[in-house]
């Protein structure tokens, strides 16, 4: 039997086992499927939102790690319950919310609109009056955050990484570098 036959058989079996086990798509799978040259209709809008959510500091921002491509690929795979149509629906709703094409307004106004929308979406009383299309902001923002913090930059430069975490110490002083651990995913739930 040739090596290519063994390889394709292994890939088939791995895929069949994952499907049989009902495993969900993990971020590393989506990053692997995301090409740097991914092109889609709302890349400019998503890039703008990425810059607002995680701007450039001493590390590249969400746009710099191509989080917009991750968001689209994650929506294709229904990560966090997102669908491709959610991006289209949200883009139309965001333009309505802005009263114009969101990308045509000044950067300060874009930031202010997203800041206001974010406060409304995460406020139980205020969110009741929002159209369902604007509530999609929760999914999109969540995917931007997952994209950034599962990227190489987010996981290794923005967060601290320790391959094997140490022991539990319930009361420790804050260190000089108060960054979260990139491999502490105890609070993350997919699906």
pLDDT tens digits for 35-46?
433 434 588 999
pLDDT at 36: 38
What is the secondary structure of 149-178 as a DSSP string? HHSHHIIIIISB--SS-----SS----SS-
Q: With beta carbons less than 8 A apart as the criterion, state whether 62 and 128 touch.
A: no
| R_g of the chain computed on alpha carbons | 19
pLDDT at 187: 59
Whole-model pTM above 0.85? no
**What is residue 181's three-state secondary structure?**
strand
List the chain domain ranges. Answer: 39-152
Q: How far is CA 32 from CA 36, 79, 120, in A?
A: 10, 15, 34
Q: With beta carbons less than 8 A apart as the criterion, state whether 52 and 111 touch.
A: yes
pLDDT tens digits for 70-122?
999 999 999 888 898 999 899 999 999 999 999 999 999 999 999 999 999 99
Work out the average pLDDT over 62-67. Answer: 95
Reference 191, options 145, 155, 139, 123; nearest CA is 139
Reference 44, options 63, 61, 70, 65; nearest CA is 63
What percentage of the chain exceeds 90 in pLDDT? Answer: 49
**Cα–Cα dist 18/12, whole Å:** 10
Give the contacts of 68 (CB within 8 A, at least 6 positions apart): 43, 46, 47, 49, 50, 62
Select the more confidently predicted residue: 98 or 155.
98
**Cα–Cα dist 30/33, whole Å:** 5
């Amino acid at each position: 039997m040739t090596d290519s036959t063994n390889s394709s058989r292994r890939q088939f079996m791995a895929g069949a086992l994952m499907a049989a086990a009902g495993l969900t798509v993990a971020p590393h799978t989506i990053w692997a499927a995301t090409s740097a040259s991914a092109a889609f209709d709302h890349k400019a809008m998503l890039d703008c939102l990425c810059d607002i959510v995680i701007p450039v500091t001493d590390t590249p921002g969400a746009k710099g790690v191509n989080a917009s491509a991750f968001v689209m690929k994650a929506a294709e795979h229904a990560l966090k319950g997102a669908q491709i149509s959610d991006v289209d629906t949200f883009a139309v709703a965001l333009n309505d919310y802005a009263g114009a094409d969101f990308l045509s307004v000044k950067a300060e106004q874009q930031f202010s609109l997203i800041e206001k929308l974010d406060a409304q979406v995460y406020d139980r009383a205020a969110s009741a009056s929002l159209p369902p299309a604007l509530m999609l902001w929760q999914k999109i923002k969540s995917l931007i955050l997952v994209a950034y913090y599962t990227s190489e930059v987010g996981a290794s430069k923005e967060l601290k990484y320790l391959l094997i975490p140490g022991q539990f110490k319930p009361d420790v002083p804050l260190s000089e570098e108060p960054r979260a651990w990139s491999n502490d995913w105890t609070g993350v739930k997919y699906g």
